[in-house]
Structure formats: C-alpha cells, structure tokens
Structure 1
Amino acid sequence: MVHGRCDLAGGADRGGRALPAAASSVGPDAHAVPGRKHPAVPGSGAGPFAGSGGSGRTHRADAATAVNRAPAARKVDQGCRAVAGRGDAGASAAATGRGAARAVAAPSRPGAARNDTGAHRQSPGPGAGDAGPVPGRVGDDAARRRAAPVGPSAGALGAGVRGRAGAVLAAGARHFAVGASMSAPTRNWLVMNVGSATLKAAVYAVDGDGERAGAGRRVTIPLGDDTDVDAALSTALTRLPVAAQQPQAIVHRVVHGGRRAGAVVLTPEQCAELTALAPMAPLHQPPALALVELAARRWPQARQFAAFDTSWHAHLAPWSRRLPLPQGLHAAGVMRYGFHGLAYQSAWRQLKAQAPALAHRRLVMAHLGGGSSLCAVHDGRSIDTTMGLTPLDGVPMATRSGSLDPGVIGYLTHALRMPWPEIEQVLWRESGLKGLSGLSGDMRELQADPGEAAALAREHYAQRVAQAVAAMVTSLGGVDAIVFSGGIGAGAAAVRSQIAGLLGWMGVELDQEANERGGPAVHADNATVSTWVFQVNEEDELLRAALAKERA
C-alpha cells in the first residue's frame, strides 16, 4: 500500500492545519450561454439585461467580461431588492398565468451572499457522458448540436432566466416560505437534473416523516439544438407516473453553487446569486435556472430546492482552493470550486455500503465521461480536485480542452487574431478527444477506430488521467483506493485497464475478468491499492440533499 505520513481526518490539510468553514457565495456578473431556447414570458425587465430573450429566441453572445462589475450591474442589484417586495402583487399573475413578470434579479457582489448550507452532466454512454451505458449517443453529435459560443462572453441572460425566475419566485414567495406540511401523509417530490445534452427527471414519494417511501422512477430526455427545456419537461412528465404532474416539492440540480455547503430553498435572492455564477458553468447553469422558472409557473404552490455539484468540495484545503493569482482576484471569486460533486457523493455512498472502513480512508475518485475530473477524498471529504473555476479545467474531456498553458490564449488572441467567441468555441466544443483525434469526442468511437489519430487520443487521455491520479495521491500523502465512475470510468473497461497499467508502480493492478464485468470491486488479489467501479445516481443525491435541508 502507498503510505503517507499525514492524517487528514477531521478536515485537516496535509500540514495538519484545520480546513476553513465554507464561506459565502461569490461570483462575477452573469452572462448566459446561447444555443438553448428559454421559455417566453410576457413583459420585459428593467435594467441592462432587459429585452434580450423574452420570446423564446436563442440568445446571442456579447463581449461582456466575467469578473469586473459594470456600474449598470450595480443598478440591477437595487432592482433585485425591489423584486422581493412585490411578492403579493405578483402572486395572482404567477398563479393564473396572466400579467407580466417585470423584474430583474441582480448578480451578487463578491461575498454578499448568505452562507446557506445547502450537481455534472451525465450523458449517455462511455465517453459521451457520465451515466453509464444508457441507449443513445452524445459526444461528437452533441457538440455539433450545441455549436453556439459559450463562456464568460456568451451574453446576458436578460429578461429570460434571471429576471423571469426572480419575478416568478417572488410572486410565489408565500408558498416557498411555508411549503408543504411535514404532517402531510405522502408528498410527491419531482427531481430535475438538466445538463447540456439531457434532462433527467425522477419522481419520489416522501412520507409524513420526511422519509422516502419506495424507489423513485427516472427518465432521460435528450436535448437537441431545437429542444427547449419547456418541451423537454413536458415530455418527461408524460413518461413519469402521474404523481410527477402534481409535485408538492421540486429539487433542481444546479452545477455551480459557489461556496454553498448544501441545498437551499430557492428564493429570488438565491436565483440572482446563482445566475451571477453562470459564466463559470455556461453549459449547465442557464438551462437549470430556466427550469426553476418553468416549475414556478407550472406549480406555484410547490416548494423549490436547489442542490449543487460544488457543495461536495466545500472543504477543499486552502492551498487547493486558492489559485496562484493576486488576492484581489481571489476576493472577486476567482478560485477553485470543483464540480461533479453529486456524482462523487453517490459513488462514495456506494463504496461505504460495500466497504465502510475503506470509505473513510484515502481515496482518489475519478469521474470520467463527457466531462471528466478527479478528486482527493479523505474521511469522506474532498480536499483537492482537478477542475477549478470552471468545468473546463483539468484532464482532457470529450470536447473540452482541460488544462492549457495560459499563453495559448494570448497567442490565439494576439498572433492569430481569433475573436474571443471563436476561442471559447474551440476550448469548449472542438478540443479534448475530438480535437486530438480530429474524429470524435465519443470514446466508444475512438476505441473502435484502429487509426493512429484515435490511438493518440486514447493514449493522451489515459496518460493525463494517470498523471492526475498521481497528483491527487500527493495531495493525500498516499492512497488506499481508486474509485471510477461516469460514462468512461464505469462504462469503458479498456480505458480503466489502460489507466491502471500506467499506475502499476503504486500498487494498482486489476483483475481483468472483474474489470470486464464492471465491478464493483475490480482489483486483483495481490494489488496493494484497491480499485472500484460504480454507476452513480445523482437524482437520489438531489433528493437526499433537499430532505436534509428541509429537516434542518
């Protein structure tokens, strides 16, 4: 076994120092991702974002920056505070569908959010997402479907998500404040997990004691370039049991929650703060917030919650949280957040059921799919991770570049004269496995291709993941187990074998027969580091997080 000399139990870093408690939410001003239709709402909001998306049109990119706050943005803060005071006036409009939602929710100033104590895309199939073998193909095709520029300069959410969601939530504020009674015999909980390529929805029955009654039912709806989230939600409801059409509570997966340590009850203020984080999760945050608004309009009396992928990383070690940039940028929210937290939580919970003592030791967790990341976990807490400010960082992914020399961006900008939206398109949509191979970002296709370009992409991916494992082991001071999940991590035995082969020097060795079966335990008898494989269930984790918030 690879041993280390430090004990990270109880939230200490490698030097034995206590890790800090979660701080308040921070983030730059909000800009949305074009390429996905958002629902129409009559009326227009006030402020700089008004009139940019109230009719279901696809939003276009502008050149706004992600960190610096313009004077106009500060005016929107004042408008957001006014929204919360108009709850009664707007209640009938939200409940009946009449009237205009005429409010704009504001981005939060760094550090202004409350420290509310509170999830990654799971696309079908290995290499195309993170949900294991599910029928359907995403990856290269999904990249073509979602070909719009993305990132901090991708444009304002406008009256579309930010204003409408804040206004509708304000109109239903009385219902959110009260919610369903805990004494109710059974309540229907609807869970919605929207990504850049799919909408996963599930319905659960929860008894009067706040305990789940039976297993939930789940469906997956693909999202194309012409599919808006309203249509996807309607399709999901027709495929779920009828109870899903009358939920008393709704839980949303929101990828970026800043420094929030757990689920929250959604309010106009919370929506404004979460919208401000959209530039840091441009593929996921805007459609998730659009679903919040749609749900508030469909079910104005239902209580809405949000749980976050970033919450799993609430206790990162200080040396991991801080990026090597000036303090002023750190104070503005430019720091490491980490993602895939709901998936990591699900995999860790399954490991705990299989090997309770091992789950509290030193783990390297690798969630590999269309988006890929790794994290170092000790005693059930993430202390380091490969993704940083955005889900673009870390190891190469299906179409995302992963970590790059920052000088590449300067060269593309100044020497090659590439406009910023085009650079974003390259980094988010045309790089990673797709860029390396020139063929596809889908690992299944690359595994079937005998050509040199596909072989290079596979080798590059395995090498970078193995290097990231070694980095996480260094963060832990040793390792006891490696845990794979995600479309590639749980669905591609050959890729696991290739990665493990590069880690033999640290005691990683797979039982090839167990590896082909897919686990859960896939290590050889003589291995000194155990290896595990799990299919994750983010919807269950979303429900758990919301119920924990309700009980708190």
Structure 2
Amino acid sequence: MSAILTLNAGSSSLKFGLYHLSEEPELLLKGQVENLGPLARLKVKGGETREIGPADHAVALHEILQAIEPVLDGRVVLGVGHRVVHGGMNFGEPEVLTEPVLAKLRTLEPLAPLHQPHNLAAVYAAQKEFPESVQIGCFDTAFHRHHPFVNDTYALPYKYYEQGVRRYGFHGISYDYITSCLRRDWPELYKGRVVVAHLGNGASMCAIKAGQSVSSTMGFSALDGLPMGSRCGQIDPGVLLYFMAQGMDANAISDMLYNDSGLKGLSGISHDMRTLLDSDDPHAAQAIDYYVFRIKRELGALATVMGGLDGVVFCGGIGEHAAPIRARVVGEMEFMGLKLDAAANDAGETRIGTGPVEVLVIPTDEERVIARSVADALLA
C-alpha cells in the first residue's frame, strides 16, 4: 500500500495531488493551499475549504499533510514529485533531487524568479516531512529540449548560445499532458500539426508536430511571447536599454516586467481575466484586445513554422474557462481554417470547431504527468 504525492509550487500557492502508486497512478485527493502569505487557505477539490492564516510553503505542506492523512489509510508516501520550472541545459528528463542537482537548479533562479525559488522551497519542505521518500523533479523546459537550432537561438555571438543563452520554452509539463490526451483520444490529430495555447496567469503557445515540440512562444525566461497576468510578454530590448538610460536598475526593471506589466499593467485594474471581462473600463477592453491580438499573431507564426495547421487546443485557466477569449481568437481566423461552433464554445464542450482545422478545449493536468514520472522511477 504505497502512495505518491505531487507538489506544484508557485509564488502564492502550493497545489498537491495524492495518488495510489500503480503503473497509471490513481488519484485519491487533489487541492491546493492558495494565497500564501498572511491569509492562506486550504481548498480540497470536492471537499473542504479552510482558512489557515499566515503560511509559507513549509506551513502549507504541513496543512496538506493533515488533509491527506485520513485518505492515506495506511499507505506510505514512497515518492514526492515536484514541478520545477527551469531545468536549463542540464536536465531533460525527470531527475532525483539530490543536493548536487538542487545546487544546479538554484543557479537558474534568476531566469524564473517567480517560480524557481518557490519550486525549490517546496522540495526542501518535502525533504523534511518525508526524509525517506524519493524526491523527483519534473521540468517545464524538458518538453522543448529538441527544438531545431533556428527555434532555440538568438542572433547574438555564438559563444552565448554555448553558455546557455537560448530559448528554453516553458509549460512543458502541461504540453506533455495535452499531447498524451491527443495520442489517446485523437490519434490522427496527434500525428499532425497542432498549436496548443496554454492560457492562464502565465501564458504560452507551442507548435507540436507529430507529438514533438518544434517551437514555443516563451524563450530564455518565462517573460517572452504572450502578455500574461502581470508579465510583459514580447518586448523590444531597446525599451529596456531606454529604461536603463533613464536610471532604472536591473531590480526595478525586473520587478516591473514580472509583477506590474501584462494584463495588470495595461488595464491598471487587475491581472485576472475574469475581472477584465466583467469591467466596462476602456483600459480593460484595450488589455483584452492586445491579449487576443498577440495570440492570433503567434498562432499564425507557429502554424507557419510547421508548414500548416491541423488543430488548435486551448488549455490553462483562461483557455479552459474564458469562452469569449476563445471566440475572439477562433472567430477571427477563418482564413486559416478555424471556424467556431458558438454554442459548443459557450457550453464549454471539448470540440468547439466546425472547420477543417480541429479546435479543442482540454483541461490540463500537470500533477498527473508528475505522478506518472514518479511512478516510473519507483516501479523501474
């Protein structure tokens, strides 16, 4: 009687999944501690919501352990799986998180400051709670490891590419899950050319050809590509040089690009798409207009990279739940073979297209991908 625990740590939340250990892990319980800080609360899917009060990742994990204890029912947690956003050049497969590995991952914190430190904080907390369990890291960058050179490089002196200044891409665990769903349920589409749009507080898009990532909108860091909740997305580097010339230092620029830009910065209202869609403020409308524009622009570019398009898949919090955003993207790209079934879209159905290019909505499940990786390690 053995179990797997998965931890997906962000700056303000710690998501968890508890699974019975088997070749295809069986979900026992799922939830998260959200609003880490002074007013954290525990939410169990299909169960309780409980106010916790002040909590960091260590306190959050302790609360999670209390929630899973009755469900464990004698099972022993043999493995803990972690989402780690940045694996750099060194890590392309799930990895046992030994201290030497963790030391290398700490050096990547400047490339993903909103994620990497919190990912590793959850690892250290889990090591204390489960000292005998194997800790496995799964990397968001791993799915994109085999891009063609032209999709990985920047037009900088080549020595910097060799040093690791390259396009890594992110959200790979989510893309891995969506690809597994296509392989199982849409095998012909899986063999073709698909753009997956992972749209949430963090957002990116990925061109996937025959199950393999060939290009992603995100690059060296998790800032590039689409505008996000509070991150800028694509920006002319000359703008950053201008800010520096005006006296802004690296910390101030970094804080603005990561925390005060994107939907939040453009609207001046909120990073939350739900709030913006409900608002009659013209700045909210402008922020949404820009968001949709960038999705359409990247969709065209990614289709070109693959030499055509057979399907589009929406996932992530916005991709799965914001029907108006999907409608504006699909409804304005009929020239590419995308045609919206408005009723299916409004109803949140899986298949929302009627044109020659398939359009799907598939809820992502990063925790299951992590659990599968832990199971593979334990059952090998």
Counterpart Cα distance in 2 of 1:550 and 1:321: 33
Normalising to structure 1: TM-score of the pair?
0.63
In the alignment, which residue of structure 2 is the partner of 1:366? Answer: 197
The answer to whether the 8 Å contact 2:4/2:374 transfers is no
What aligned pairs does 1:112-511 form with structure 2 within 5 A after superposition? Answer: 186-207=1-22, 211-212=23-24, 214-226=26-38, 227-242=55-70, 243=72, 246-259=76-89, 260-414=91-245, 416-511=246-341
Q: Is the 8 A contact 2:223 2:258 kept in 1?
A: yes
Q: 1:52 matched to which residue of 2?
A: none
Determine if contact 1:483/1:533 at 8 Å carries over to the other structure: yes
Task: Give me the whole-angstrom Cα distance separating, in 1, the residues matched to 2:250 and 2:172.
Answer: 30
CA distance in 2, matches of 1:312, 1:461: 25
- Which whole-Å deviations, capped at 9, do the CAs of 1:47-102 have from their partners, x for residues lacking one? xxxxxxxxxxxxxxxxxxxxxxxxxxxxxxxxxxxxxxxxxxxxxxxxxxxxxxxx
**Following superposition of structure 1 onto structure 2, how do residues 492-531 of structure 1 map, counting pairs within 5 Å?**
492-524=322-354, 527-531=355-359
Post-superposition Cα deviations, 1:463-482, rounded to whole Å, max 9, x if no partner, equal 11100000100110101000
The gaps in structure 1 that reach 5 residues or longer are 1-185
Provide, for residues 415-449 of structure 1, a one-character-per-residue CA deviation record: whole Å limited to 9, x for no partner.
Answer: x2122211111111111111111111111111111
Contact 1:342 1:541 in 2 (8 A): yes
Opposite residue 477 of structure 1, the aligned amino acid is G
> Structure 2 unaligned runs (5+)?
39-54
Q: 2: CA distance between counterparts of 1:360 and 1:333?
A: 31
Distance 1:217 1:412, change over 3 A: same
CA distance in 1 between partners of 2:106 and 2:35 (Å)? 21
The 3-state SS of whatever aligns with 2:15 is: strand
Task: Write the mapping of 1:61-140 to structure 2, written as runs, cut at 5 A.
Answer: none
Q: Say if 1:223 and 1:232, in contact at 8 Å, map to a contact too.
A: no
**In structure 1, C-alpha distance between the alignment counterparts of 2:129 and 2:338, rounded to whole Å:** 51
Q: 1:402 to 1:354 in 2, by over 3 A?
A: same
Structure with higher RCO (Cα < 8 A, 6+ apart): 1
CA distance, structure 2, for counterparts of residue 512 and residue 299 of structure 1: 49
CA contact (8 A) 1:446 1:454 kept: yes
Secondary structure at the aligned position of 2:93 is classed as coil
Quote the offset at 1:356 in angstroms: 1.3
Which residue matches 1:119?
none
Residues 489 and 533, structure 1, Cα contact 8 Å, conserved in 2: yes
Is 2:315–2:364's contact at 8 Å kept on the other side of the alignment? yes
Give the CA deviation at 1:455: 1.1
Aligned to 1:84: none
1:246 Cα deviation from its structure 2 partner: 4.4
Matched, 1:536 2:364: yes
Alpha-carbon distance, 1:549 to partner: 3.8
Letter of the 2:205 counterpart: L
Q: Deviations over 1:219-263 (max 9, x none)?
A: 111133343101111111222244299412111111111242220
Determine helix, strand or coil for the equivalent of 2:297. Answer: helix
Distance 1:405 1:236, change over 3 A: same
Shift of 1:350: 2.1
Counterpart CA distance in 2 for 1:411 and 1:371 is 26
Identify, as 1 or 2, the structure richer in strand: 2
Secondary structure in structure 1 of the residue aligned to 2:213: strand
Q: CA deviation at 1:353?
A: 2.8
The percent identity for this pair of structures is 37
CA 289–534 in structure 1, closer or farther in 2 if over 3 Å, else same? same
Question: Do the aligned residues in 2 keep the contact of 1:199 with 1:223 (CA within 8 Å)?
Answer: no
Deviation at 1:213, TM superposition (A): 5.7
- With over 3 angstroms needed to count, the CA separation of the structure-2 counterparts of 1:504 and 1:212, relative to structure 1, is closer
Supply the distance in 2 between the matched residues of 1:206 and 1:516 (Cα, whole angstroms). Answer: 37
Q: Tell me how far apart the structure 2 counterparts of residues 252 and 278 of structure 1 sit (CA, whole Å).
A: 16
Structure 2 length-normalised TM: 0.91
Equivalent position amino acid for 2:277 in 1? Q
Q: Which amino acid aligns with 1:534?
A: I
Alpha-carbon deviation of 1:547?
2.6
1:352 shift after superposition: 2.7
Shift of 1:550: 4.3
Deviations 1:98-154 (A, max 9, x none): xxxxxxxxxxxxxxxxxxxxxxxxxxxxxxxxxxxxxxxxxxxxxxxxxxxxxxxxx
